[in-house]
Amino acid sequence: MINKVFLTFTIILFAGFSFAQTASSYFPAETGHKWYFKTEVLDTLNNPVDSLTTFRIDSFAVNSTFKEKAAKVVLSKSGPQLTIVSQPYLDTNYINLEGSNGSVYFRIANSEQLRLLFDSLALDTLFGSFDTLINTLFSFEKWYSFYKFGNFVNFPYTIFTYDTTITIDTLTLPLRFGITGKRISDATLATDIGTFDCKRFINQYKISYRVEIPPLPTILIPLLTLNDSIYIAPGNWIVQTEIPSTVLDLSYLQLPSFSLPGLKVSSIPEIIPPVKVNDKIIDRTPQLSLNNYPNPFSSSTTIIFKIPKAPLLTKERGWGEVATLKLYDLLGREITTLINAPMESGTYEFSLKSGLVDEGVTLSNGIYFLRLNYGSSSVTQKLVVLD
């Protein structure tokens, strides 16, 4: 009898667990890998709203170290399908893969953009002041283990929890913000780029009203729950995520409730601009590339640029055209020249500090532009410096 119980327990235990759960095996091995996504807003019936569809390109830039952890640095950009390829990368994400855990670093990108959003949405009614909100958000900046590949199936784990109190008019609301993760059963997913045997996770984002009746335990009344379903494919990382539409239920607080749209992000093949625009042929020769990470940055950023091979270079010459890399301010005024020399094809990187970048030239808080010129080709990258 004991042996049967033990055998049954063992079967149940290992049905939700496998030994091959190394997180790094689910991420692309080589830098330079690019992901292409279609982002669809979902209506209350979870049907796509075509007019709100956008596209995203992510690029695995480099292996580095960030906040004392080994980090996969991924650059990201979003926009319309017609222009997304030519847009600069403006966002930087950091992913850490240690053992069976996949962690993501949460950080505040641009406080000035947040201030504009804060003012436009009149969020002072919820958070009191912008500085209070920013200080709160900055306190959350750290690594979070979102993906625990070694966890048992359907066993939830806490990613983040935070208790606070906000005031709306004369109404004081004790709230709890929380994120939990859960690995669910594996699944085969058919996408536009292929069919994958995926690990699946559900990250649940919750806002709850806290009822404190000492000495009883805290009672949590859900106000908002977002279920983010994530599919992760071996050697590819995330290939699809989906958050169904939901309702922000404030009826318990005697306030109106709101329907919130859903969001689906799906992998798609490489985005290639149309060959013709207004009957003009687009030049399809190899293009220059120019990126930097992190962006925005405070003390320093790493600039990466790539000069392609032929037809821009010739074997006879060996060296290509003169490459110039210049820095401009927001008004288009040239600040300094960082590079002015003949260069051959290849990938180059160097560090730019926000302090003294040239004799008598410093970078303070603001927006700048890098422009790389090579022969008849050029490319521009936006930089954001935060004090």
pLDDT of residue 138: 66
Which CATH number is 285-385 given?
2.60.40.1930
The SS3 call for residue 387 is coil
Query: Do residues 360 and 378 make contact, with C-beta atoms less than 8 angstroms apart?
Result: no
What angle is formed at CA 202 by the lines to CA 196 and CA 208, rounded to 5 degrees? Answer: 165
Confirm if 219 and 205 have CB atoms less than 8 A apart: no
Tokens of 216: 């009883």
User: What distance in Å separates the CA atoms of residue 50 and residue 46, rounded to the nearest whole number?
Assistant: 12
Neighbours of 316 (CB within 10 A): 5
φ and ψ at residue 99, rounded to 5 degrees:
60, -125
According to the 3-state scheme, what is the secondary structure of 26-78? Answer: HCCCCCCCEEEEEEEEECCCCCECHHHCEEEEEEEEEEEEECCEEEEEEEEEE
In 3D space, the residue among 240, 118, 102, 224 whose CA is nearest the CA of residue 175 turns out to be 224
pLDDT of res. 317 = 42
CA gap 373, 269 in Å, rounded: 29
pLDDT averages per 10-residue partition of the chain, 387 residues: 45 43 92 93 87 90 91 90 83 93 79 48 51 64 93 94 79 87 95 93 92 88 91 96 88 76 92 56 57 81 78 43 82 81 82 68 78 78 78
Which pLDDT score, from 0 to 100, does residue 101 have? Answer: 96
DSSP 330: T
pLDDT value, residue 203: 95
Tokens of 207: 């806002």
pLDDT at 145 (0 to 100):
95
At 33, which amino acid appears? H
Q: For tokens 């532009």, what's the residue? A: 369
What is the spatial distance between Cα 199 and Cα 285, in angstroms, rounded to a whole number?
38
Closest CA to 211 of 251, 159, 261, 173: 173
Q: Does a cis peptide bond (omega within 30 degrees of 0) precede residue 274?
A: no
CATH number of 17-267: 2.40.360
* Distance in angstroms (rounded) separating the CA atoms of residues 146 and 138: 19
| 3 state DSSP class of 132 | helix
pTM exceeds cut of 0.75? no
Query: What residue segments make up the domains of the chain, in order of their start?
Result: 17-267, 285-385
Tell me, rounded to whole angstroms, the distance of Cα 164 from its chain centroid: 26
Cβ neighbours for 100, distance < 8 A, ≥ 6 positions apart:
21, 22, 23, 148, 149, 150, 151
Give the separation between CA 269 and CA 228, rounded to whole angstroms: 23
Two domains, one topology: 17-267 and 285-385: no
Contact (Cβ atoms closer than 8 angstroms) between residue 171 and residue 253: yes
